[in-house]
């Protein structure tokens, strides 16, 4: 029975809003624990590029001014680095905002988006806010299943979201699968390829994604400064998309959505190859180590191409994921339970510095009674 919103005694949110599960960020603190180690949000454990920190400080002097709404310098720097047309770039307050803008541009009530079952939460929040339906395609062994996605696509599908590598699973699919997905989608459906963790999969040619987007009218590739560049707090994300789509989305993008210190820091971070290399190297050293060590404790570690690992715990009382998370928290290590992603037996752990990774393994060995 629809509510008569005019006759209501107080303002009533439009239908669907109160059914949206609010975004649940990785824990940043725990009662009674001073200075916990935060491995719960896939941030860059090295912090931010020192060059970005310097640029941010310079930007502070410009705080009284509105930012460049086109982020022209950052736009030029990204276009040059990746060989992309500047006019086909779109900037957001994090890539989260890019997803929201795409949803707002393409979805009307009754339309739907299709995503893998364990898809990143922000996509669905934005879709539901537009009155869109969210269809979850079952995954195959925690990997994106292209056929399952295609099965859910119908005439009301406007967007398909895929992250590669994915969060929270960390798994990836080959580009040939992305191409197959694209080829089978109706040309009216926007395919969003979320590359938040792309840089941590250094053995893959990511130019493929951009090339696909360059030649197709319905492909969007997103990237973020939150992970590899360590600028999560500054909220800078971007997308490479067809020119006519940029022109549409830009009509609803609020003009000053990326602030001056963030734009300056992002430009500096983009040019700091040394910091990016160190960030990738750290993950490349410790990701296989953590995978091997945790597997050695009898835990199921999902193969990851991102800056985190997803670990499955037994359902035996005393050894569950919920208890493991609580145990690590009590010892000062914050990790991420992912029950809200439909994975109640798993815990997601961001790759830390050497001492963090060793401590996590030692603590989980204790937890598992090894
Ligand atoms: C798959 C995926 N996409 C996008 C984002 C959001 O990135 P941003 O900080 O640019 O909003 C995240 C953040 O955790 C993510 O895991």
17: in domain: no
Helix (H) or strand (E) holding 152: helix 146-152
Q: What is the CATH number of the domain that holds 348?
A: 3.90.1150.10
> What is the per-residue pLDDT for 286?
98
224, 255, 271 — which closes off a domain?
A: 271
166: in domain: yes
Beta bridge partners of 32: none
224, 256, 271 — which closes off a domain?
A: 271
- Domain check: are 108 and 171 in the same one? yes
- Domain check: are 254 and 281 in the same one? no
**Pair of tokens at residue 248:** 């549409």
- Domain check: are 123 and 234 in the same one? yes
- Domain check: are 239 and 298 in the same one? no
239, 271, 303 — which closes off a domain?
A: 271
352 lines ligand 1 (CB under 6 A): no
Q: How crowded is residue 17: how many other Cβ atoms within 10 Å of its Cβ?
A: 11
144: in domain: yes
8: in domain: no
CA of 225 to the centre of ligand 1 (A): 9
**Any residues with CB less than 8 A from the CB of 208 and at least 6 apart, and which?**
175, 178
- Which residue among 74, 196, 227 has the greatest number of ligand 1 atoms within 8 angstroms of its CB, and so is best to mutate? 196
224 lines ligand 1 (CB under 6 A): yes
Determine whether 60 is exposed, middle or buried from the number of CB atoms within 10 Å of its CB (0-12, 13-18, 19+): exposed
- Domain check: are 192 and 112 in the same one? yes
- Domain check: are 216 and 323 in the same one? no
- Domain check: are 138 and 259 in the same one? yes
> What is the per-residue pLDDT for 204?
82
**Over the Cα atoms of the chain, what is R_g?**
21
- Domain check: are 74 and 152 in the same one? yes
How far is Cα of residue 230 from the mean position of the Cα atoms in its chain? 13
* Per-block mean pLDDT, blocks of 10 residues, the chain (370 long): 88 92 87 92 97 96 96 98 97 98 98 97 96 98 98 98 98 97 98 98 88 97 98 98 96 96 98 98 98 98 98 97 97 96 97 98 96
284: in domain: yes
7: in domain: no
Which residue's CA is minimally distant from atom 13 of ligand 1?
Answer: 196
- Domain check: are 280 and 159 in the same one? no
Report the nearest atom of ligand 1 relative to the CA of 93: 11
CA of 98 to the centre of ligand 1 (A): 10
- Domain check: are 89 and 170 in the same one? yes
CA of 223 to the centre of ligand 1 (A): 8
DSSP-H helix ranges across 229-272: 243-249, 260-271
> What is the per-residue pLDDT for 33?
87
Among residues 130, 123, 139, the alpha carbon closest in space to that of 194 is found at 123
How large is the greatest C-alpha to C-alpha distance in the chain, in angstroms?
A: 63
178: in domain: yes
Residue 9 DSSP SS3: coil
Q: How crowded is residue 3: how many other Cβ atoms within 10 Å of its Cβ?
A: 10
307 lines ligand 1 (CB under 6 A): no
- Domain check: are 169 and 300 in the same one? no
> How far apart are the C-alpha atoms of 45 and 283, rounded to whole Å?
10
**Pair of tokens at residue 182:** 């694209």
The residue range of the domain holding 293 is: 23-47+274-367
> What is the per-residue pLDDT for 30?
86
96 lines ligand 1 (CB under 6 A): yes
CA of 165 to the centre of ligand 1 (A): 11
Cα distances from 14 to residues 4, 29, 157, 305, 356, in angstroms, run 11, 34, 22, 40, 45
Which residue's CA is minimally distant from atom 3 of ligand 1?
Answer: 196
Number of domains in the chain: 2
> What is the per-residue pLDDT for 27?
86
- Domain check: are 262 and 300 in the same one? no
207: in domain: yes
Q: What is the CATH number of the domain that holds 107?
A: 3.40.640.10
């Amino acid at each position: 029975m629809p509510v008569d919103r005019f006759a209501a005694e107080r303002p009533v949110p439009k239908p669907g809003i109160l059914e949206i599960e609010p975004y649940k960020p990785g824990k940043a603190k725990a009662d009674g624990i001073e200075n916990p180690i935060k491995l719960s949000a896939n941030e860059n454990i090295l912090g931010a590029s020192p060059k970005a920190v310097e640029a941010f400080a310079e930007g502070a002097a410009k705080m009284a001014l509105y930012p460049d709404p086109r982020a022209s310098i950052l736009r030029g720097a990204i276009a040059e680095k990746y060989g992309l047309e500047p006019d086909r770039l779109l900037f957001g307050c994090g890539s989260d905002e890019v997803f929201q803008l795409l949803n707002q541009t393409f979805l009307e009530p009754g339309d739907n988006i299709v995503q893998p079952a364990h898809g990143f939460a922000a996509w669905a929040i934005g879709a539901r806010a537009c009155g869109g339906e969210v269809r979850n395609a079952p995954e195959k062994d925690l990997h994106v299943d292209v056929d399952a996605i295609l099965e859910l696509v119908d005439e009301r599908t406007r967007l398909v979201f895929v992250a590669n590598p994915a969060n929270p699973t960390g798994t990836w699919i080959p580009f040939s699968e992305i191409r197959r997905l694209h080829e089978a989608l109706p040309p009216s459906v926007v395919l969003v390829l979320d590359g938040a963790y792309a840089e941590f999969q250094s053995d893959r040619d990511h130019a493929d994604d951009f090339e696909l987007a360059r030649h197709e009218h319905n492909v969007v590739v997103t990237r973020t400064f939150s992970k590899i560049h360590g600028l999560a707090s500054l909220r800078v994300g971007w997308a490479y998309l067809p020119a006519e789509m940029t022109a549409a989305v830009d009509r609803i993008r609020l003009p000053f959505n990326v602030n001056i210190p963030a734009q300056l820091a992002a430009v500096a971070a983009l040019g700091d190859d040394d910091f990016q290399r160190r960030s990738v190297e750290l993950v490349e050293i410790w990701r296989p180590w953590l995978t091997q060590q945790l597997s050695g404790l009898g835990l199921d570690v999902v193969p990851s191409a991102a800056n985190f690992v997803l670990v499955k715990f037994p359902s035996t009382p005393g050894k569950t994921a919920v208890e493991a998370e609580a145990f690590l928290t009590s010892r000062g290590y914050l990790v991420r339970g992912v029950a809200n992603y439909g994975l109640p037996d798993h815990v997601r752990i961001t790759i830390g510095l050497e001492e963090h990774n060793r401590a996590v393994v030692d603590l989980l060995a204790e937890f598992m009674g090894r």
